Amino acid sequence: MSELGWGRHYVAVEPTHFRVDYVINPFMDPDVQPDPALAWRQWFDMVGTLRGLGAVVDVLPQRPDAPDMVYAMNLGLGVVRPGPDGPAPHVVMSHMRYPQRRMETRSAQPWFAEHGATTSYVGRDGVGAHLEAGDAFAFGDALVVGYGPRTEELALKHLATELGVRVRGLRITHPGMYHLDLAFCPLDDRRALVCPSALDDASAAALLDLVPEPLVLTEEEALTTFCANSVVVGRTVVMPSCPDRVRTQLEAWGFEVVVVDVSEFHKGGGSIRCLTNPVDITLGRDLPLVPGGEVVLPPE
């Protein structure tokens, strides 16, 4: 069993303008606003916990006009390309499905560039394929990408070609698990939290085939506890909450569970993973290189 090679360097957005201004997922209700002071404390505890575990967390300021920008996972897909001159960070910027979030990348792109990353787009400003990075995770022999509610199928082709990797697509059909990170969390090289009810039958079967030892979550566990929306640092799983059954299995596998309450952020429909974007997935180490790229889709 070996630990994930990635998950030690994150980007997060300071929640100075976090609100629920519009409805783009079933959790959002503008009549139920987060408490700004409590949200701030919860976010600060989460970042402190990750740093305490040895992770690096870089922080971007939040745009006042972008209340969902706190869900930094969706700013872009960060990877590291090993090169002759050392590691070269690259971010494929998201192209948000909903116009309400598109301004976020206009601030994030220059921030990534100033912090030493090259950037690219699969689409922008409403033109081209939609990609939301909360749909994309390295696991096994591929970048596993959920598509349907947010990311579009065409984006998979762009990612495979641009990064030179295999992309395995999974069709998301559940309106409440609109990003893959609400239903899938890689734990190490063999194990992951998975909620098959997020996907159509063929994709659920494909995901279960891909993960040698899945910890299968019920629809209710995933939706009511956000427990798949967790972050793994080495052998520690940082979770928004953890059903007893899930904790027992994680501990039997040798993981330590740390629970951090980020309930204010559940009002916008996201939890710990959505708030933290890992930027250290290393091509050739965490994700095998496939020259020219390859897309594998589940059967219709």
Residues that bind ligand ARG (CB under 6 A): 24-25, 28, 68, 71, 73-74, 101, 134, 179, 181-182, 268-270, 274
Q: Which residue has its beta carbon closest to ligand ARG? A: 134
Q: Say which residue the tokens 């997935």 belong to.
A: 281
Q: Which amino acid is at 239?
A: M
Residue 93 or 182: the one with the smaller Cβ distance to ligand ARG is: 182
Q: Are 7 and 280 in contact (CB under 8 A)?
A: yes
As measured in angstroms, the least distance from the Cβ of 264 to ligand ARG is 13
As measured in angstroms, the least distance from the Cβ of 82 to ligand ARG is 27
Residue 68 or 286: the one with the smaller Cβ distance to ligand ARG is: 68
Residue 191 or 273: the one with the smaller Cβ distance to ligand ARG is: 273
Residue 262 or 293: the one with the smaller Cβ distance to ligand ARG is: 262
Nearest to 25 by CA among 156, 208, 150, 117: 150
Q: Tell me how far apart the alpha carbons of residues 113 and 188 are, in angstroms, rounded to a whole number.
A: 30
As measured in angstroms, the least distance from the Cβ of 254 to ligand ARG is 27
DSSP 8-state symbol, 48: H
Residue 62 or 74: the one with the smaller Cβ distance to ligand ARG is: 74
Q: Are 281 and 133 in contact (CB under 8 A)?
A: no
* Cα-based angle 29, 33, 34 (whole degrees, multiple of 5): 125
As measured in angstroms, the least distance from the Cβ of 251 to ligand ARG is 26
Q: Tell me how far apart the alpha carbons of residues 67 and 163 are, in angstroms, rounded to a whole number.
A: 30
Q: For residue 116, is it left (φ>0), alpha (ψ between -120 and 50) or beta? A: left
Residue 1 or 59: the one with the smaller Cβ distance to ligand ARG is: 59
Q: Tell me how far apart the alpha carbons of residues 53 and 39 are, in angstroms, rounded to a whole number.
A: 21
As measured in angstroms, the least distance from the Cβ of 238 to ligand ARG is 15
As measured in angstroms, the least distance from the Cβ of 73 to ligand ARG is 4
Q: Tell me how far apart the alpha carbons of residues 190 and 169 are, in angstroms, rounded to a whole number.
A: 19
